[in-house]
Amino acid sequence: MVEVMLFSVLLFLKLKKIARPANCSTPVRVYHIDIMQNLKNNIENEYLLFVDSLKDLACISGLSKKKLCIAKTDFKDLHIVKKINKKFPNLEIWLTSTEISRKNIMLANSYGIKNIIPYPVDLKIIQNYFRKQNKLPSATEEIPNYSSLKGMSVMVVDDNQMNVDLLVETLSALNLEITTFLKPIEASKAAVKEKFDLFLLDVMMPEMSGFELAGIIKRSKINADTPIMFISALSDAENKIMGYNIGSCAYIEKPFEVPVVRSQIYNMLKTKCLQDALKDKKETFLAMVTHDLKTPIYAEICALELLNKNRDNMDLLQKEIISDILSATKYMKNLVENISQKYKVENENLVLQKSKCSLKDIAIKCIEDTKYLFEEKHIKYILNCSARNALAMMDELEIKRVIHNLIINTIEHGISNSKVIMDIKESSSSVIFSITNFGVGIELKNPDEIFSKYVTYANKQKTINSGLGLYIAKRIIDEHGGHIKAESEPKKYVRFTFTIPIK
């Protein structure tokens, strides 16, 4: 029977089609009240009902058999809807009007009406509705599981309270924790302190634009990777491109269709849940592997160092083999420790145990640990210390890790028969350590980039590197309140320098 109804709709569509306006560049299939009257006369006995006013519903019999009623409205007669819904709960009511606005949409939503379509009516919308009603869900068709989003946190920022209320109403079914702001400056303060799963931002706001707020969010440590959606009345291409260039995952135009936006947000958050779950599995796997590798690696190093102490009875080849294996095992130990340390610094579990330590003594220990790596590549090392005491409040183990990573990095990117110079100095407020590798040098377009996670120049230098050592070094120095920088001149030198406050 639905197919017969659709055929009737298409037949009237051909007979009563209205010519599109002269200033319209694309065909618009709309139908005026005479078409609605014809449809009423021909198909109202089936599933679809058109009325010129909601008041007309009080005079119509047989509403219990209808599936959909489309009523023309000026939004002044919506009180009738509650009575009809109570009496005929299976009847879905849509509104059509020439006076669609945010205020009227919210008013209709408060009466339980979710669909408001422009008048004259585009009958394709009705056709799609009945096609869906007549179609059984397929095995691959997923029913939204809003409960899976329970507890996820969303920030809504818009200087118009009506827009904020509409978005909150749109998201009300998703079991989300929603935080709203009318002032973007207040929102920016919260965004750098509290973790969110999604930001919904207006663009044109006083004091600060949505684009400026998005920039603050992207630069924050806690929400740098949190998805952002812009919801704005600005529909020009320039603003859309700017939004996407900032890093937004969607740009939604106002006024928007509530079901569509709800679906966009639901699927965005569902995708984020899946990504977070995969990331957690990967991190858990790596943490487990590195943990299980620690014991055999440390045991192997102890055994090799014991053999190395009794090398008098070995020939030259045996000594070289033991030294090579020991160097490789210590490199693996450093790699495993870097991966373990990554989890600490990213999960904010890095707790410094500070005491007054000598930076010179720490550097000497690091050189002793890596001397076989220097010997393997025939690199000469020199330690200069012009500081009187080189004492500062620091975590000895973590600063040793920093210097160790810098030495490993320098050796890995160094060339045979070159030299490495380490200098320790002090100023009135800091102790300063620098390490310079002569003979290589790389082009650093952005010197700060080298301290980012997984950034490595190993391909250019034809070496193997995880890209974690310098990232961890910077995080440790930052926690000490110091600074670290890189300098380089191609084919001449690479220098790393860090400072630690004395107090």
Q: Where are the domains of the chain?
A: 2-133, 146-256, 273-350, 352-501
DSSP string computed for 398-421: HHHHHHHHHHHHHHHT--TT-EEE
The pLDDT-based confidence of 6 (bands split at 50, 70, 90) is: very low
pLDDT of residue 227: 94
Mean pLDDT of 107-122: 83
pLDDT of residue 459: 42
pLDDT in tens, 306-355: 787 777 788 888 888 887 788 778 778 877 777 766 666 665 556 788 99
The pLDDT-based confidence of 2 (bands split at 50, 70, 90) is: very low
- Longest CA span, the chain: 111
In order of 110, 301, 308, 336, 365, the CA distances from 294 in angstroms are 61, 11, 21, 7, 21
- Residue 261 predicted with pLDDT over 60: yes
Mean pLDDT of 1-9: 42
What is the homologous superfamily of the domain 146-256 according to CATH?
A: Response regulator (3.40.50.2300)
At residue 320, what are phi and psi to the nearest 5 degrees? Answer: -65, -40
Mean pLDDT of 406-422: 86
Mean pLDDT of 19-33: 38
- Residue 432: CA count within 13 A, CB half-sphere: 13
Asked if 75 contacts 107 with a C-beta cutoff of 8 angstroms, the reply is yes
Any idea what the Cα angle at residue 427 is, between residues 421 and 430, rounded to 5°? Answer: 85
- Residue 501 predicted with pLDDT over 70: yes
Phi-psi group of 369: left, alpha or beta (phi > 0 → left; psi -120 to 50 → alpha; rest → beta): alpha
Asked if 401 contacts 440 with a C-beta cutoff of 8 angstroms, the reply is no
Q: Which residue has the higher pLDDT, 14 or 328?
A: 328
> What is the overall mean pLDDT for the chain?
79
Mean pLDDT of 470-487: 89
Of 440, 408, 412, 436, the C-alpha closest to 423 is 436
pLDDT of residue 392: 92
- Residue 45 predicted with pLDDT over 70: no
The pLDDT-based confidence of 483 (bands split at 50, 70, 90) is: very high
The pair of structure tokens assigned to 141 is 């068709």
Decide whether 273-350 matches 352-501 in CATH topology: no
273-350 has which fold? Helix Hairpins (1.10.287)
pLDDT of residue 133: 67
State the residue for tokens 């350590």. Answer: 433
- Residue 237 predicted with pLDDT over 70: yes
The pLDDT-based confidence of 120 (bands split at 50, 70, 90) is: confident
**The overall pTM is greater than 0.95:** no
Of 274, 211, 207, 272, the C-alpha closest to 247 is 211
424 forms bridges with which residues in the sheet?
A: 385, 433
- Residue 257 predicted with pLDDT over 80: yes
- Residue 140 predicted with pLDDT over 70: no
pLDDT in tens, 352-407: 889 999 999 999 988 888 887 788 788 899 999 998 878 999 999 889 989 988 98
- Residue 476 predicted with pLDDT over 80: yes
Distance of CA 204 to the CA centre of its chain: 23
| Least confident stretch, 124-133, 246-255, 422-431, 474-483 | 124-133
- Residue 21 predicted with pLDDT over 60: no
| Least confident stretch, 8-17, 200-209, 315-324 | 8-17
The pLDDT-based confidence of 51 (bands split at 50, 70, 90) is: confident
Question: How, if at all, do strands 177-181 and 198-201 pair?
Answer: unpaired
2-133 has which fold? Rossmann fold (3.40.50)
**CA atoms of 255 and 234, how far apart (whole Å):** 10
Mean pLDDT of 24-36: 41
Q: Which residue has the higher pLDDT, 405 or 45?
A: 405
- Residue 46 predicted with pLDDT over 60: yes
The pair of structure tokens assigned to 194 is 């509290």
pLDDT of residue 306: 79
CATH of domain 352-501: 3.30.565.10
pLDDT of residue 281: 77
Any idea what the Cα angle at residue 422 is, between residues 372 and 358, rounded to 5°? Answer: 95
Asked if 447 contacts 458 with a C-beta cutoff of 8 angstroms, the reply is no
Q: Which residue has the higher pLDDT, 111 or 290?
A: 111
Asked if 68 contacts 48 with a C-beta cutoff of 8 angstroms, the reply is yes
302's enclosing H/E stretch is: helix 258-309
pLDDT of residue 54: 87
pLDDT in tens, 171-197: 888 889 999 999 999 999 999 999 999
pLDDT of residue 321: 84
